[in-house]
Chains A and B, each alone.
Chain A
Amino acid sequence: MTDRAVSSTVEFVLTLAVATALMGGLIIGATNMTERQHGNAVESQMQIVGHQIAGGIESADRVVATSRTISTFAVERDLPDRLVNARYTVEITTSAVLITTDAVDRSTRVAFDTETPVSPTSVNGGDLAITKSASRLVIERAD
């Protein structure tokens, strides 16, 4: 009586369908959550890297201001090649650092304030060197 209209084949198929639906839902949910977390992580890293570069530029400016003369000045900053496995680009304007990456839609802008003029440039993410050339601060990829 209790086994009426139920065969082992039907039971197996039903169980498999339920398990597949459950697993699919979980994977989809986890994927969305992971993507959101990845995006947040990338944006957080863009902010951190942007502030590190801006801070490095302002710090180099203070060295210039403290010095009476400078014949050589180069300082390297260790920065990641990728932000949460995504390549990124650093654009330096005369007053801000812009970090862009394909991993998120919007770029991150971090302003800085220096007395020494800064040469505008654009470089791929990675270790950077800040140097003083003539009367300007120059940012380039470290060798």
Chain B
Amino acid sequence: MASVNDRGQVLLLGAIVVAVTFVTLSVVLSGTLYSATITKTAVADAGSDHTRSVLLDVRDDGATALQSAVERHPADERAQENAIRATVAALDDYYRRYYAQRDAAVRIDVDGVDTGDYVSQSSGSFAYDGDSDGVRETTDWSITDGQQRVRDMSVTVRGGTGQTRLVFDDGTEQYTITLGANGRVEVDWPGTGTTVCQSSGSRPVEVDISESSVDGTHCGALAFGSALDSTYDIRVEDGDAIDGSYRLTTERNARGTTTTQRVYAVDIAVSYRTAAVDYDGTVSTAPGEIG
């Protein structure tokens, strides 16, 4: 037991213990408050990001369904549409089961199928037989019958004696692809000048405008689609200067050596529900669309 003379030291020690306790408590309480708030905000969900992820998945799957249907039934637009509807119905079952395990309810269904024209040519000059007499006499002509969109467009140059230009005109600006018989491929952007994608090459030269590539090599200058307005006209100038083939699918009526009806785009209705998200809308898919 402490003596009377030791009482001051005992009190001093006690006071220090109390002070240290106060300080410790204040620091701990403050830290606890901070931690609690951080924890609550850190678990905030990312509902919109999940929604967009679902929409992108649906769009990609819709594009695959469309391409598959077109490959299986290249000349039968009705069969293409039926195949797309069947695939989307199967996808609906898959999505329902897959997302049910993630506490989300997803339903998809075909909302609409847009039919356009598939335009192609397998050989000969890029001129157009305007009067259907079997001779391609029109050297300057328009593939698209008015302003519209196109998808899945490529051209192959096999020969010729000069240069043919493909002009994408949205009414305010023009983007021009110059195709040379010697394999030269140039792209002209308004205001920024000309970019040479390929100076020369062994023929045939394949220019995939939807994929922005020349003979499989990426050329960024061909990716002008995002700079175009929503619709545009595609003109051929000096079409008799080169020989080769082309193919594309247009949103509406088109001109060309061969045209057949083909599904252009599919609209898919999407319903997505979670505890935090309520979404009903549609996504549209047109694989290889320019613009």
Contact B40 A66 (CB under 8 A): no
Q: Which of B134-188 contact A (CB under 8 A)?
A: none
- Does B90 reach chain A (CB closer than 8 Å)? no
A61 CB to nearest B CB, Å: 8
| A65 closest partner in B (C-beta) | B52
| B58 closest partner in A (C-beta) | A66
CA distance A71 to B12 in the complex (A): 73
> Does more than half of chain B's interface fall in helix, strand or loop, or is it mixed?
helix
Q: Which of A11-29 contact B (CB under 8 A)?
A: 11-12, 14-16, 18-20, 22-23, 26-27, 29
- Does A78 reach chain B (CB closer than 8 Å)? yes
* Interface residue tally on B, bucketed by range: 35 or more
- Does A107 reach chain B (CB closer than 8 Å)? no
CA distance A33 to B12 in the complex (A): 24
- Does A45 reach chain B (CB closer than 8 Å)? yes
With a CB–CB cut-off of 8 A, which chain A residues contact B283? 66-68
Q: Which of A52-105 contact B (CB under 8 A)?
A: 52, 56, 59-60, 62-63, 66-80, 82-85
> Does more than half of chain A's interface fall in helix, strand or loop, or is it mixed?
helix
Contact of A52 among B11, B27, B34, B44 (CB under 8 A): B44
With a CB–CB cut-off of 8 A, which chain B residues contact A133? none
With a CB–CB cut-off of 8 A, which chain B residues contact A19? 11-12, 14-16
| B9 closest partner in A (C-beta) | A15
With a CB–CB cut-off of 8 A, which chain B residues contact A118? none
With a CB–CB cut-off of 8 A, which chain A residues contact B45? 76-78
Given A38-B30, A71-B281, A75-B277, are A80 and B23 also a contact pair (CB < 8 Å)?
no
Contact B282 A79 (CB under 8 A): no
With a CB–CB cut-off of 8 A, which chain A residues contact B33? 38, 41, 84-85
CA distance A34 to B34 in the complex (A): 11
CA distance A60 to B277 in the complex (A): 11
Contact B52 A62 (CB under 8 A): yes
B119 CB to nearest A CB, Å: 25
CA distance A67 to B14 in the complex (A): 69
Contact A26 B5 (CB under 8 A): no
- Does B22 reach chain A (CB closer than 8 Å)? yes
- Does A30 reach chain B (CB closer than 8 Å)? yes
Contact A63 B52 (CB under 8 A): yes
- Does A135 reach chain B (CB closer than 8 Å)? no
Contact B41 A20 (CB under 8 A): no
Query: 9 more A-B contacts (CB under 8 A) besides A70-B281, A72-B280?
Result: A22-B15, A27-B22, A34-B30, A48-B41, A59-B52, A68-B267, A68-B283, A75-B47, A76-B45
A-B CB proximity, top 9 nearest: A19-B15, A15-B8, A59-B48, A70-B281, A23-B19, A75-B47, A72-B280, A68-B284, A67-B281
CB within 8 Å of B: which residues of A? 8, 11-12, 14-16, 18-20, 22-23, 26-27, 29-31, 33-34, 37-38, 41, 45, 48-49, 52, 56, 59-60, 62-63, 66-80, 82-85, 130
CB within 8 Å of A: which residues of B? 4-5, 7-9, 11-12, 14-16, 18-20, 22-23, 26-27, 30-31, 33-34, 37-38, 40-41, 43-49, 51-52, 55-56, 59, 267, 276-284
